[in-house]
Amino acid sequence: MIRDKGRDSQVFVNLLRRATTVSAHCDLPCGVYDPAQARIEAESVKAILEKYAANDDPAFRERAIVIKEQRSDLVKHHLWVLWTDYFKPPHFEKYPQLHQLFNEATKLAGGGGGTKSSLDVKVADDLLAKIQEISDIFWETKKAA
Is residue 59 one of the residues assigned to a domain?
yes
Cα 121 from Cα 54, distance rounded (Å): 12
Please report, in tens digits, the pLDDT of each residue of the chain (145 residues total).
566 666 666 765 665 666 655 455 545 555 679 999 999 999 999 999 999 999 999 999 999 999 999 999 999 999 999 999 999 999 999 999 999 999 999 999 998 999 999 999 999 999 999 999 999 999 999 987 6
Distances (CA, A) of 60 to 48, 110, 136: 11, 22, 36
Is residue 77 one of the residues assigned to a domain?
yes
Is residue 86 one of the residues assigned to a domain?
yes
Is residue 116 one of the residues assigned to a domain?
yes
The full 3-state SS of the chain, as one line of letters, equals CCCCHHHHHHHHHHHHCCCCCCCCCCCCCCCCCCCHHHHHHHHHHHHHHHHHHCCCCHHHHHHHHHHHHHHHHHHHHHHHHHHHHHCCHHHHHHCCCHHHHHHHHHHHHCCCCCCCCCCCHHHHHHHHHHHHHHHHHHHHHHHHC
Instruction: Give the pLDDT score at 32.
Output: 79
CATH number of 82's domain: 1.20.120.400
Distances (CA, A) of 18 to 10, 27, 54: 14, 21, 64
Instruction: Give the pLDDT score at 144.
Output: 78
The total domain count for the chain is 1
Q: Domain range for residue 96?
A: 33-144
Closest CA to 119 of 67, 59, 74: 67
Is residue 25 one of the residues assigned to a domain?
no
